[in-house]
Structure 1
Amino acid sequence: MSVPIVGRRFAVPEPLAPGELAIEASSVGVVIDGKRILHDVTLDARAGEVHALIGPNGAGKSTLLATITGDQTVTEGRITVAGRPLQAWSARELSRRRAVLLQHNDVFFPFTVQQVVEMGRAPWQRTELERDDDEAVAAAIAETDIARLSGRQVPSLSGGERARAALARVLAQRTGILLLDEPTAALDLRHQEDVLRLARDAAAAGDAVIVVLHDLNLAAAYADRISLLEQGRLVTTGSPAEVLTAERITEVYRYPVEVVTHPTSGALVILPIR
Protein backbone atom coordinates (compact mmCIF):
# COMPACT_ATOMS: atom_id res chain seq x y z
CA MET A 1 0.00 0.00 0.00
CA SER A 2 2.47 2.61 -1.16
CA VAL A 3 1.80 6.30 -1.53
CA PRO A 4 2.95 7.11 -5.06
CA ILE A 5 3.34 10.64 -6.37
CA VAL A 6 0.54 11.56 -8.75
CA GLY A 7 1.54 14.69 -10.61
CA ARG A 8 2.46 17.14 -7.89
CA ARG A 9 0.18 15.55 -5.33
CA PHE A 10 0.23 12.34 -3.32
CA ALA A 11 -2.26 9.48 -3.44
CA VAL A 12 -4.09 8.53 -0.25
CA PRO A 13 -3.55 4.97 1.08
CA GLU A 14 -6.55 2.68 1.05
CA PRO A 15 -8.18 2.29 4.50
CA LEU A 16 -7.90 -1.06 6.22
CA ALA A 17 -10.89 -3.37 5.95
CA PRO A 18 -12.57 -4.51 9.20
CA GLY A 19 -10.50 -7.26 10.76
CA GLU A 20 -7.59 -6.71 8.36
CA LEU A 21 -4.12 -7.23 9.77
CA ALA A 22 -2.71 -3.78 10.56
CA ILE A 23 0.43 -4.56 12.57
CA GLU A 24 2.32 -7.81 12.91
CA ALA A 25 5.38 -8.42 15.06
CA SER A 26 7.00 -11.79 14.33
CA SER A 27 9.59 -13.33 16.68
CA VAL A 28 10.88 -9.90 17.65
CA GLY A 29 13.99 -9.68 19.79
CA VAL A 30 15.83 -6.57 20.92
CA VAL A 31 19.30 -6.26 22.46
CA ILE A 32 20.43 -2.83 23.69
CA ASP A 33 24.00 -2.26 24.94
CA GLY A 34 24.47 -5.99 25.30
CA LYS A 35 21.31 -6.45 27.36
CA ARG A 36 18.39 -8.41 25.96
CA ILE A 37 15.17 -6.40 26.34
CA LEU A 38 12.75 -8.47 24.23
CA HIS A 39 12.76 -12.23 23.66
CA ASP A 40 10.98 -13.76 20.65
CA VAL A 41 7.76 -11.71 20.90
CA THR A 42 4.99 -12.35 18.37
CA LEU A 43 1.68 -10.46 18.27
CA ASP A 44 -0.61 -8.62 15.89
CA ALA A 45 -3.28 -5.91 15.81
CA ARG A 46 -6.26 -5.74 13.50
CA ALA A 47 -8.51 -3.00 12.19
CA GLY A 48 -11.45 -2.47 14.51
CA GLU A 49 -9.83 -3.56 17.76
CA VAL A 50 -8.04 -2.13 20.79
CA HIS A 51 -5.02 -4.25 21.68
CA ALA A 52 -3.53 -3.40 25.09
CA LEU A 53 0.04 -4.18 26.12
CA ILE A 54 0.37 -4.69 29.88
CA GLY A 55 3.00 -5.92 32.29
CA PRO A 56 5.08 -4.83 35.29
CA ASN A 57 7.68 -2.08 35.09
CA GLY A 58 10.54 -3.22 32.89
CA ALA A 59 8.48 -5.86 31.10
CA GLY A 60 9.37 -4.41 27.68
CA LYS A 61 6.03 -2.83 26.75
CA SER A 62 7.38 0.51 25.56
CA THR A 63 10.32 -1.14 23.82
CA LEU A 64 7.94 -3.40 21.93
CA LEU A 65 5.84 -0.42 20.89
CA ALA A 66 9.01 1.40 19.82
CA THR A 67 9.89 -1.49 17.49
CA ILE A 68 6.42 -1.21 15.96
CA THR A 69 6.76 2.55 15.44
CA GLY A 70 10.23 2.09 13.97
CA ASP A 71 11.97 4.08 16.71
CA GLN A 72 13.78 0.96 17.95
CA THR A 73 15.62 -1.37 15.60
CA VAL A 74 14.90 -5.05 16.10
CA THR A 75 17.78 -7.45 16.63
CA GLU A 76 15.76 -10.43 15.43
CA GLY A 77 12.39 -10.88 13.79
CA ARG A 78 10.36 -8.51 11.68
CA ILE A 79 7.57 -5.94 11.85
CA THR A 80 4.97 -5.41 9.15
CA VAL A 81 2.59 -2.47 8.79
CA ALA A 82 -0.51 -3.02 6.64
CA GLY A 83 1.18 -6.08 5.15
CA ARG A 84 4.47 -4.42 4.21
CA PRO A 85 7.80 -4.75 6.05
CA LEU A 86 8.32 -1.72 8.26
CA GLN A 87 11.64 -0.86 6.62
CA ALA A 88 9.93 -0.71 3.20
CA TRP A 89 7.91 2.34 4.24
CA SER A 90 9.28 5.84 3.85
CA ALA A 91 8.82 8.27 6.73
CA ARG A 92 6.21 10.17 4.74
CA GLU A 93 4.27 7.02 3.93
CA LEU A 94 4.31 5.89 7.55
CA SER A 95 3.02 9.26 8.74
CA ARG A 96 -0.08 8.65 6.64
CA ARG A 97 -0.54 5.08 7.78
CA ARG A 98 -0.01 5.23 11.56
CA ALA A 99 -0.03 7.91 14.26
CA VAL A 100 2.19 7.65 17.34
CA LEU A 101 1.74 9.06 20.84
CA LEU A 102 4.92 8.68 22.89
CA GLN A 103 5.20 8.73 26.68
CA HIS A 104 7.07 12.02 26.61
CA ASN A 105 5.70 14.84 24.46
CA ASP A 106 7.79 17.77 25.63
CA VAL A 107 7.40 20.90 23.52
CA PHE A 108 9.93 23.58 24.39
CA PHE A 109 9.12 26.07 21.65
CA PRO A 110 6.23 28.48 22.26
CA PHE A 111 3.72 26.78 19.97
CA THR A 112 0.09 27.17 20.90
CA VAL A 113 -2.12 24.16 21.51
CA GLN A 114 -3.95 24.96 18.27
CA GLN A 115 -0.68 24.91 16.33
CA VAL A 116 0.40 21.60 17.88
CA VAL A 117 -2.87 19.94 16.93
CA GLU A 118 -2.59 21.35 13.42
CA MET A 119 0.80 19.64 13.12
CA GLY A 120 -1.09 16.36 13.04
CA ARG A 121 -2.41 17.28 9.60
CA ALA A 122 1.06 17.81 8.08
CA PRO A 123 1.18 14.31 6.49
CA TRP A 124 -1.87 15.14 4.38
CA GLN A 125 -0.43 18.20 2.68
CA ARG A 126 -0.67 17.87 -1.09
CA THR A 127 -3.31 15.15 -0.87
CA GLU A 128 -7.05 15.24 -1.39
CA LEU A 129 -7.51 14.90 2.39
CA GLU A 130 -5.92 18.31 2.93
CA ARG A 131 -9.42 19.72 2.55
CA ASP A 132 -10.39 18.03 5.84
CA ASP A 133 -7.74 19.84 7.91
CA ASP A 134 -9.97 22.37 9.66
CA GLU A 135 -12.66 19.83 10.49
CA ALA A 136 -10.17 17.23 11.74
CA VAL A 137 -8.40 19.73 14.00
CA ALA A 138 -11.66 21.10 15.41
CA ALA A 139 -12.98 17.59 16.08
CA ALA A 140 -9.79 16.48 17.83
CA ILE A 141 -9.77 19.57 20.05
CA ALA A 142 -13.40 18.99 21.00
CA GLU A 143 -12.92 15.26 21.64
CA THR A 144 -9.99 15.86 24.01
CA ASP A 145 -11.69 18.73 25.86
CA ILE A 146 -8.96 21.31 25.20
CA ALA A 147 -10.89 24.07 23.41
CA ARG A 148 -10.28 26.46 26.29
CA LEU A 149 -6.55 25.80 25.98
CA SER A 150 -6.26 26.31 22.21
CA GLY A 151 -4.62 29.72 22.49
CA ARG A 152 -2.24 28.76 25.30
CA GLN A 153 1.43 28.07 24.64
CA VAL A 154 2.21 24.41 25.29
CA PRO A 155 5.16 24.99 27.71
CA SER A 156 2.73 26.79 30.05
CA LEU A 157 0.42 23.78 30.40
CA SER A 158 0.28 21.19 33.14
CA GLY A 159 1.45 17.66 32.39
CA GLY A 160 -2.10 16.42 31.94
CA GLU A 161 -3.01 19.29 29.65
CA ARG A 162 0.07 18.63 27.52
CA ALA A 163 -0.86 14.96 27.29
CA ARG A 164 -4.32 15.82 25.99
CA ALA A 165 -2.90 18.28 23.45
CA ALA A 166 -0.53 15.56 22.20
CA LEU A 167 -3.43 13.12 21.94
CA ALA A 168 -5.43 15.67 19.96
CA ARG A 169 -2.56 15.97 17.49
CA VAL A 170 -2.57 12.19 17.00
CA LEU A 171 -6.34 12.04 16.58
CA ALA A 172 -6.25 14.86 14.03
CA GLN A 173 -3.76 12.84 11.97
CA ARG A 174 -6.50 10.29 11.10
CA THR A 175 -4.26 7.48 9.89
CA GLY A 176 -6.25 4.33 10.68
CA ILE A 177 -3.60 2.95 13.07
CA LEU A 178 -3.05 4.46 16.52
CA LEU A 179 0.01 3.55 18.59
CA LEU A 180 -0.32 4.97 22.11
CA ASP A 181 2.35 4.64 24.80
CA GLU A 182 0.87 5.13 28.28
CA PRO A 183 -1.58 7.84 27.16
CA THR A 184 -3.28 7.98 30.58
CA ALA A 185 -0.15 8.34 32.73
CA ALA A 186 -0.49 12.06 33.56
CA LEU A 187 -4.28 12.26 33.55
CA ASP A 188 -6.94 12.47 36.24
CA LEU A 189 -9.72 9.91 36.52
CA ARG A 190 -12.15 11.60 34.14
CA HIS A 191 -9.59 12.18 31.41
CA GLN A 192 -8.18 8.66 31.73
CA GLU A 193 -11.63 7.34 30.96
CA ASP A 194 -12.05 9.87 28.15
CA VAL A 195 -8.80 8.80 26.48
CA LEU A 196 -9.71 5.12 26.52
CA ARG A 197 -13.22 5.92 25.33
CA LEU A 198 -11.69 7.78 22.38
CA ALA A 199 -9.47 4.77 21.66
CA ARG A 200 -12.53 2.54 21.82
CA ASP A 201 -14.47 4.89 19.51
CA ALA A 202 -11.56 4.94 17.04
CA ALA A 203 -11.56 1.14 16.93
CA ALA A 204 -15.33 1.08 16.48
CA ALA A 205 -14.84 3.37 13.47
CA GLY A 206 -12.36 0.88 11.96
CA ASP A 207 -8.97 1.92 13.35
CA ALA A 208 -6.42 -0.50 14.78
CA VAL A 209 -5.29 0.68 18.21
CA ILE A 210 -2.29 -0.57 20.19
CA VAL A 211 -2.04 0.99 23.64
CA VAL A 212 0.46 0.49 26.44
CA LEU A 213 -1.31 0.60 29.82
CA HIS A 214 -0.31 0.24 33.45
CA ASP A 215 -3.87 0.30 34.76
CA LEU A 216 -5.22 -3.24 34.53
CA ASN A 217 -8.79 -2.11 35.08
CA LEU A 218 -8.63 0.24 32.09
CA ALA A 219 -7.28 -2.62 30.00
CA ALA A 220 -10.06 -4.89 31.23
CA ALA A 221 -12.75 -2.32 30.46
CA TYR A 222 -11.65 -1.09 27.05
CA ALA A 223 -9.42 -3.65 25.30
CA ASP A 224 -10.60 -6.31 22.88
CA ARG A 225 -7.35 -8.20 23.30
CA ILE A 226 -4.54 -7.96 25.82
CA SER A 227 -0.91 -9.05 25.56
CA LEU A 228 0.82 -9.59 28.90
CA LEU A 229 4.60 -9.23 29.00
CA GLU A 230 7.07 -10.15 31.71
CA GLN A 231 10.83 -9.54 31.61
CA GLY A 232 10.77 -9.05 27.86
CA ARG A 233 8.78 -12.17 27.09
CA LEU A 234 5.20 -12.54 25.95
CA VAL A 235 3.31 -14.48 28.63
CA THR A 236 -0.02 -14.70 26.82
CA THR A 237 -2.41 -12.92 24.46
CA GLY A 238 -6.17 -13.15 24.55
CA SER A 239 -9.39 -11.53 25.64
CA PRO A 240 -9.48 -9.69 28.99
CA ALA A 241 -11.20 -12.67 30.59
CA GLU A 242 -8.55 -15.06 29.24
CA VAL A 243 -5.54 -12.95 30.27
CA LEU A 244 -6.62 -11.27 33.49
CA THR A 245 -6.97 -14.22 35.83
CA ALA A 246 -6.16 -13.79 39.50
CA GLU A 247 -3.55 -16.55 39.38
CA ARG A 248 -1.72 -15.13 36.37
CA ILE A 249 -1.72 -11.50 37.54
CA THR A 250 -0.60 -12.53 41.03
CA GLU A 251 2.28 -14.53 39.54
CA VAL A 252 3.46 -11.95 37.00
CA TYR A 253 3.08 -8.86 39.17
CA ARG A 254 4.26 -10.68 42.29
CA TYR A 255 1.41 -9.32 44.36
CA PRO A 256 -1.84 -11.05 45.33
CA VAL A 257 -5.01 -9.89 43.58
CA GLU A 258 -8.57 -11.01 43.17
CA VAL A 259 -10.57 -10.59 39.97
CA VAL A 260 -14.29 -9.94 40.30
CA THR A 261 -17.08 -9.10 37.89
CA HIS A 262 -18.66 -5.69 38.33
CA PRO A 263 -22.33 -6.23 39.25
CA THR A 264 -23.63 -3.49 36.92
CA SER A 265 -21.30 -3.24 33.93
CA GLY A 266 -20.11 -6.85 33.87
CA ALA A 267 -16.53 -5.64 33.44
CA LEU A 268 -13.68 -7.42 35.16
CA VAL A 269 -12.26 -5.58 38.17
CA ILE A 270 -8.76 -6.35 39.47
CA LEU A 271 -8.36 -5.69 43.19
CA PRO A 272 -5.12 -5.97 45.16
CA ILE A 273 -5.52 -8.01 48.32
CA ARG A 274 -4.50 -5.76 51.18
Structure 2
Amino acid sequence: MGDRAHRPRAGGGIMSGRVSGLRRHLLVPAIIAALTATAAVFLLSGGAPQVAADGAAPPARIDASLGLVVQRVEIEGRENTPPEALDAAIGDPQGRAVTDIDLAAVRQRLEHISWVRRAQVARQLPDRLVIRIEERRPFALWQRQGRLHLVDREGVVLTDEDLARWRTLPLIVGDDAPGAAPTLLETLAQVPTIASEVEAAIRVAGRRWNLRLESGVLVKLPEDEQPGWGLREAVRRLAELARQERLLERSVTVIDLRLADRLVLRLPPGVRPQSAAGEQQT
Protein backbone atom coordinates (compact mmCIF):
# COMPACT_ATOMS: atom_id res chain seq x y z
CA MET A 1 0.00 0.00 0.00
CA GLY A 2 3.07 2.26 -0.07
CA ASP A 3 3.28 5.33 2.26
CA ARG A 4 -0.44 6.17 2.21
CA ALA A 5 -1.76 7.14 5.66
CA HIS A 6 -4.23 4.74 7.17
CA ARG A 7 -7.82 6.01 7.26
CA PRO A 8 -10.53 4.36 9.37
CA ARG A 9 -13.37 2.77 7.46
CA ALA A 10 -16.80 4.37 7.53
CA GLY A 11 -19.44 2.43 9.45
CA GLY A 12 -17.12 0.60 11.80
CA GLY A 13 -19.82 -1.61 13.27
CA ILE A 14 -21.57 -1.77 16.62
CA MET A 15 -18.37 -1.54 18.74
CA SER A 16 -17.16 1.46 16.76
CA GLY A 17 -20.48 3.26 17.33
CA ARG A 18 -20.34 2.55 21.05
CA VAL A 19 -16.81 3.93 21.30
CA SER A 20 -17.79 7.07 19.39
CA GLY A 21 -20.81 7.61 21.65
CA LEU A 22 -18.66 7.12 24.72
CA ARG A 23 -16.17 9.68 23.44
CA ARG A 24 -18.97 12.22 22.90
CA HIS A 25 -20.35 11.45 26.36
CA LEU A 26 -16.96 12.16 27.98
CA LEU A 27 -16.11 15.14 25.78
CA VAL A 28 -19.05 17.37 26.75
CA PRO A 29 -18.30 17.40 30.52
CA ALA A 30 -14.62 17.98 29.75
CA ILE A 31 -15.42 21.04 27.65
CA ILE A 32 -17.73 22.40 30.36
CA ALA A 33 -15.05 21.83 33.00
CA ALA A 34 -12.45 23.62 30.88
CA LEU A 35 -14.71 26.61 30.30
CA THR A 36 -15.56 26.75 34.00
CA ALA A 37 -11.88 26.66 34.96
CA THR A 38 -11.10 29.41 32.45
CA ALA A 39 -13.85 31.62 33.85
CA ALA A 40 -12.60 30.97 37.37
CA VAL A 41 -9.08 31.96 36.37
CA PHE A 42 -10.35 35.24 34.94
CA LEU A 43 -12.34 35.98 38.06
CA LEU A 44 -9.72 34.98 40.58
CA SER A 45 -6.99 36.82 38.73
CA GLY A 46 -8.80 40.00 39.70
CA GLY A 47 -7.54 39.43 43.22
CA ALA A 48 -3.94 38.89 42.19
CA PRO A 49 -1.47 41.78 42.75
CA GLN A 50 -0.72 42.15 39.05
CA VAL A 51 -4.40 42.65 38.23
CA ALA A 52 -4.81 45.07 41.14
CA ALA A 53 -1.96 47.03 39.58
CA ASP A 54 -3.42 47.44 36.10
CA GLY A 55 -7.06 47.22 37.11
CA ALA A 56 -8.12 45.32 33.99
CA ALA A 57 -11.51 43.75 34.63
CA PRO A 58 -11.96 40.14 33.47
CA PRO A 59 -13.25 40.01 29.90
CA ALA A 60 -16.10 37.71 30.91
CA ARG A 61 -19.08 39.73 32.18
CA ILE A 62 -20.75 37.98 35.06
CA ASP A 63 -24.43 38.67 35.50
CA ALA A 64 -25.26 39.98 38.95
CA SER A 65 -28.11 37.48 39.01
CA LEU A 66 -25.52 34.75 39.63
CA GLY A 67 -24.85 36.24 43.06
CA LEU A 68 -21.36 37.60 42.27
CA VAL A 69 -22.04 41.05 43.68
CA VAL A 70 -20.13 43.01 46.30
CA GLN A 71 -21.66 42.45 49.74
CA ARG A 72 -18.65 43.26 51.92
CA VAL A 73 -15.69 45.64 51.75
CA GLU A 74 -12.74 44.69 53.98
CA ILE A 75 -10.02 47.23 54.80
CA GLU A 76 -6.69 46.11 56.26
CA GLY A 77 -3.87 48.27 57.61
CA ARG A 78 -5.84 51.36 58.65
CA GLU A 79 -4.66 53.08 61.82
CA ASN A 80 -4.81 56.84 61.23
CA THR A 81 -6.42 57.34 57.84
CA PRO A 82 -9.78 59.08 58.34
CA PRO A 83 -12.66 56.66 57.58
CA GLU A 84 -14.51 59.36 55.65
CA ALA A 85 -11.50 59.77 53.32
CA LEU A 86 -11.51 56.02 52.66
CA ASP A 87 -15.25 56.03 52.02
CA ALA A 88 -14.88 58.84 49.49
CA ALA A 89 -12.07 57.00 47.67
CA ILE A 90 -13.79 53.61 47.61
CA GLY A 91 -17.23 54.90 46.69
CA ASP A 92 -20.25 52.63 47.14
CA PRO A 93 -19.45 49.29 45.50
CA GLN A 94 -21.97 47.25 47.46
CA GLY A 95 -24.58 45.66 45.23
CA ARG A 96 -22.45 46.00 42.10
CA ALA A 97 -21.09 43.03 40.19
CA VAL A 98 -17.59 42.20 41.39
CA THR A 99 -16.30 42.37 37.81
CA ASP A 100 -17.59 45.94 37.42
CA ILE A 101 -15.20 47.39 40.03
CA ASP A 102 -12.33 49.33 38.45
CA LEU A 103 -9.51 48.19 40.73
CA ALA A 104 -6.92 50.62 39.36
CA ALA A 105 -9.20 53.62 39.76
CA VAL A 106 -9.98 52.72 43.38
CA ARG A 107 -6.28 52.20 44.12
CA GLN A 108 -5.34 55.56 42.59
CA ARG A 109 -7.97 57.38 44.61
CA LEU A 110 -6.76 55.70 47.80
CA GLU A 111 -3.15 56.68 47.12
CA HIS A 112 -4.20 60.31 46.75
CA ILE A 113 -5.07 60.31 50.46
CA SER A 114 -2.17 61.94 52.31
CA TRP A 115 -1.98 59.17 54.92
CA VAL A 116 -1.77 56.34 52.35
CA ARG A 117 1.66 55.46 51.00
CA ARG A 118 0.41 52.62 48.80
CA ALA A 119 -2.72 50.53 48.40
CA GLN A 120 -3.80 47.18 46.96
CA VAL A 121 -7.34 46.44 45.84
CA ALA A 122 -8.51 42.90 45.09
CA ARG A 123 -11.66 40.93 44.42
CA GLN A 124 -12.36 37.92 46.60
CA LEU A 125 -15.11 35.76 45.22
CA PRO A 126 -17.95 35.48 45.56
CA ASP A 127 -18.85 38.78 47.18
CA ARG A 128 -15.92 40.68 48.75
CA LEU A 129 -13.69 43.59 47.90
CA VAL A 130 -10.45 43.48 49.90
CA ILE A 131 -8.38 46.64 50.36
CA ARG A 132 -4.93 46.68 51.95
CA ILE A 133 -3.26 50.01 52.70
CA GLU A 134 0.20 50.91 53.94
CA GLU A 135 0.08 54.14 55.89
CA ARG A 136 2.71 56.83 56.18
CA ARG A 137 4.22 57.12 59.65
CA PRO A 138 4.10 60.42 61.57
CA PHE A 139 7.63 61.76 61.98
CA ALA A 140 7.52 65.32 63.27
CA LEU A 141 5.40 68.39 63.85
CA TRP A 142 6.31 71.07 61.33
CA GLN A 143 5.73 74.73 62.11
CA ARG A 144 5.52 76.87 59.01
CA GLN A 145 4.21 80.42 58.75
CA GLY A 146 2.65 80.17 62.16
CA ARG A 147 0.77 76.92 61.48
CA LEU A 148 1.49 73.37 62.63
CA HIS A 149 1.38 70.32 60.36
CA LEU A 150 2.05 66.64 60.95
CA VAL A 151 4.61 65.30 58.45
CA ASP A 152 6.16 61.96 57.66
CA ARG A 153 9.85 61.25 57.16
CA GLU A 154 9.66 62.37 53.53
CA GLY A 155 8.10 65.69 54.46
CA VAL A 156 4.62 64.78 53.21
CA VAL A 157 1.98 66.70 55.15
CA LEU A 158 -0.38 64.17 56.72
CA THR A 159 -2.78 66.47 58.53
CA ASP A 160 -3.08 69.74 60.39
CA GLU A 161 -5.99 68.62 62.57
CA ASP A 162 -6.13 66.97 66.00
CA LEU A 163 -2.39 67.51 66.53
CA ALA A 164 -2.50 67.26 70.32
CA ARG A 165 -2.17 63.48 70.12
CA TRP A 166 1.20 63.92 68.38
CA ARG A 167 2.67 66.42 70.84
CA THR A 168 5.50 64.05 71.82
CA LEU A 169 6.96 64.17 68.30
CA PRO A 170 9.89 66.50 67.54
CA LEU A 171 8.98 70.06 66.59
CA ILE A 172 10.77 71.42 63.52
CA VAL A 173 10.49 75.00 62.26
CA GLY A 174 11.27 76.56 58.88
CA ASP A 175 10.23 76.29 55.24
CA ASP A 176 12.72 73.57 54.32
CA ALA A 177 12.85 71.89 57.73
CA PRO A 178 11.13 68.59 56.75
CA GLY A 179 13.71 67.73 54.10
CA ALA A 180 16.68 68.23 56.44
CA ALA A 181 15.07 66.92 59.63
CA PRO A 182 15.88 63.18 59.21
CA THR A 183 19.64 63.81 59.36
CA LEU A 184 19.31 66.07 62.40
CA LEU A 185 17.01 63.73 64.30
CA GLU A 186 19.16 60.69 63.53
CA THR A 187 22.17 62.60 64.88
CA LEU A 188 20.32 63.60 68.03
CA ALA A 189 19.14 60.03 68.55
CA GLN A 190 22.77 59.01 69.00
CA VAL A 191 23.10 61.41 71.95
CA PRO A 192 19.86 60.96 73.94
CA THR A 193 21.08 63.23 76.75
CA ILE A 194 20.89 66.13 74.28
CA ALA A 195 17.82 64.92 72.38
CA SER A 196 15.78 64.82 75.59
CA GLU A 197 16.54 68.52 76.16
CA VAL A 198 15.44 69.75 72.72
CA GLU A 199 12.13 71.59 72.56
CA ALA A 200 12.33 72.65 68.91
CA ALA A 201 14.73 72.55 65.98
CA ILE A 202 14.76 75.72 63.87
CA ARG A 203 16.08 75.64 60.33
CA VAL A 204 18.23 78.67 59.44
CA ALA A 205 18.78 79.86 55.85
CA GLY A 206 18.43 76.33 54.50
CA ARG A 207 21.96 75.47 55.68
CA ARG A 208 22.02 74.82 59.42
CA TRP A 209 19.98 74.39 62.62
CA ASN A 210 19.38 76.18 65.90
CA LEU A 211 18.15 74.05 68.80
CA ARG A 212 15.80 75.57 71.34
CA LEU A 213 16.22 73.64 74.59
CA GLU A 214 13.54 73.08 77.22
CA SER A 215 15.47 75.42 79.50
CA GLY A 216 15.18 78.23 76.95
CA VAL A 217 18.85 78.05 75.90
CA LEU A 218 19.49 78.52 72.17
CA VAL A 219 22.17 76.28 70.64
CA LYS A 220 23.57 77.47 67.31
CA LEU A 221 24.91 74.60 65.20
CA PRO A 222 27.25 74.87 62.19
CA GLU A 223 26.26 74.28 58.59
CA ASP A 224 25.24 70.67 57.99
CA GLU A 225 28.06 69.71 55.64
CA GLN A 226 30.76 72.14 56.66
CA PRO A 227 34.10 70.37 56.02
CA GLY A 228 35.66 69.07 59.21
CA TRP A 229 33.09 70.68 61.49
CA GLY A 230 29.49 69.96 60.73
CA LEU A 231 26.28 68.99 62.44
CA ARG A 232 27.45 65.66 63.87
CA GLU A 233 30.72 66.99 65.26
CA ALA A 234 28.99 69.94 66.95
CA VAL A 235 26.31 67.78 68.58
CA ARG A 236 28.96 65.42 69.94
CA ARG A 237 30.89 68.41 71.27
CA LEU A 238 27.76 69.70 72.99
CA ALA A 239 27.23 66.32 74.64
CA GLU A 240 30.83 66.31 75.91
CA LEU A 241 30.48 69.82 77.33
CA ALA A 242 27.22 68.89 79.00
CA ARG A 243 28.82 65.84 80.60
CA GLN A 244 32.25 67.22 81.50
CA GLU A 245 31.49 70.91 82.14
CA ARG A 246 27.79 70.66 83.07
CA LEU A 247 27.25 73.34 80.46
CA LEU A 248 23.49 72.85 80.22
CA GLU A 249 23.14 73.45 83.95
CA ARG A 250 24.86 76.80 83.82
CA SER A 251 23.27 80.23 83.42
CA VAL A 252 23.66 80.81 79.68
CA THR A 253 21.20 81.98 77.07
CA VAL A 254 23.10 81.07 73.90
CA ILE A 255 25.62 78.31 73.12
CA ASP A 256 27.28 79.06 69.79
CA LEU A 257 29.00 76.04 68.22
CA ARG A 258 29.24 77.35 64.67
CA LEU A 259 33.06 77.57 64.75
CA ALA A 260 35.26 74.54 65.27
CA ASP A 261 37.96 76.36 67.24
CA ARG A 262 35.75 78.51 69.42
CA LEU A 263 32.86 78.11 71.84
CA VAL A 264 30.85 81.30 72.32
CA LEU A 265 28.45 81.64 75.26
CA ARG A 266 25.99 84.43 75.87
CA LEU A 267 25.15 85.04 79.52
CA PRO A 268 22.11 86.67 81.11
CA PRO A 269 22.65 90.23 82.40
CA GLY A 270 24.44 90.34 85.76
CA VAL A 271 25.81 86.77 85.62
CA ARG A 272 29.55 86.39 86.16
CA PRO A 273 31.29 84.26 83.54
CA GLN A 274 32.70 80.85 84.40
CA SER A 275 35.51 79.40 82.39
CA ALA A 276 35.13 76.29 80.30
CA ALA A 277 37.45 74.76 77.76
CA GLY A 278 37.70 77.00 74.69
CA GLU A 279 34.80 79.25 75.65
CA GLN A 280 34.29 82.94 75.10
CA GLN A 281 31.53 84.83 76.93
CA THR A 282 29.57 87.72 75.47
TM-score category of the 2 structures, normalised to the smaller one = under 0.3
TM-score (norm 2): 0.19
- Tell me which of the two structures has the higher relative contact order, counting C-alpha pairs closer than 8 angstroms and 6 or more residues apart: 1
If the length of structure 1 is used for normalisation, what is the TM-score? 0.19
